[in-house]
């Protein structure tokens, strides 16, 4: 029973730490955690299936020099001021010193309607993905998700603490009762 209790404690405590870090990182970065130039992004559409599915969590690496990009690379670019898109480069055009990328979602019938300026390319897909984990990241970026992901583990820890304290009190009461019974028995035999 004690082993199960210890394992449960480690699981809950680890869950609280992970969820707290995800929520803090998500909120501080404006929705997507970023560490050492790598960013975790939630896939919100099926445009890149089967490469990665809706709800997946993918990792992209920040790009500082787009000259190394080539046809077939998957990049994240800003479609407008508020919308980031991750699609595959299908063609590269050079206009003077400026590069323009033609992109397309693997699951889309047609290429994206506008060429992507090199200035709008932000990151390149690393090949790392976690299916369905993007739903949690997206949920954590919402106010209700932040509250739930911080409160629920906290409540679980409180419940665990209550159960542990109650169990310890029962054990102390049992030992006290046994000691009293033992003392009574010893007193009567004298």
Question: SS3 of 82, please?
Answer: coil
Q: Does residue 74 carry a pLDDT above 70?
A: yes
Select from 42, 18, 19 the least CA-distant residue to 30: 42
Give the pLDDT confidence score for residue 102 in this predicted structure. Answer: 92
CA distance 41 to 164: 39
**pTM for the full model?**
0.60
Q: How confident is the model at residue 81 (pLDDT cuts 50, 70, 90)?
A: confident
Residue 75 pLDDT level (bands cut at 50, 70, 90): very high
Catalytically annotated residues: 45
Q: Report d(CA 77, CA 122) in Å as an integer.
A: 5
Q: CB burial class (10 A; 0-12, 13-18, 19+) of residue 123?
A: buried
- What is the DSSP code string of 100-138? EEEEE-TT-SS--SSPEEGGGEEEEEEEEEETTHHHHHH
d(CA 60, CA 43): 12
């Amino acid at each position: 029973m004690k082993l199960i209790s210890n394992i449960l404690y480690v699981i809950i405590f680890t869950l609280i730490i992970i969820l707290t870090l995800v929520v803090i990182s998500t909120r501080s970065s404006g929705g997507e955690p970023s560490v050492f130039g790598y960013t975790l992004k939630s896939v919100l559409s099926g445009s890149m299936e089967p490469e990665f599915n809706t709800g997946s969590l993918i990792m992209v690496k920040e790009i500082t020099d787009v000259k190394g990009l080539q046809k077939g690379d998957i990049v994240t670019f800003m479609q407008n001021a508020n919308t980031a898109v991750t699609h595959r480069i299908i063609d590269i055009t050079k206009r003077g010193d400026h590069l323009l990328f033609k992109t397309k979602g693997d699951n889309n019938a047609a290429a994206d309607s506008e060429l992507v300026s090199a200035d709008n390319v932000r990151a390149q897909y690393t090949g790392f993905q976690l299916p369905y984990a993007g739903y949690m990241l997206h949920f954590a970026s919402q106010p209700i998700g932040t509250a739930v992901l911080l409160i629920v583990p906290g409540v679980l820890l409180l419940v665990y603490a209550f159960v542990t304290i109650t169990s310890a009190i029962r054990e102390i009461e049992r030992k006290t009762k046994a000691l009293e019974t033992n003392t009574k028995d010893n007193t009567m035999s004298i």
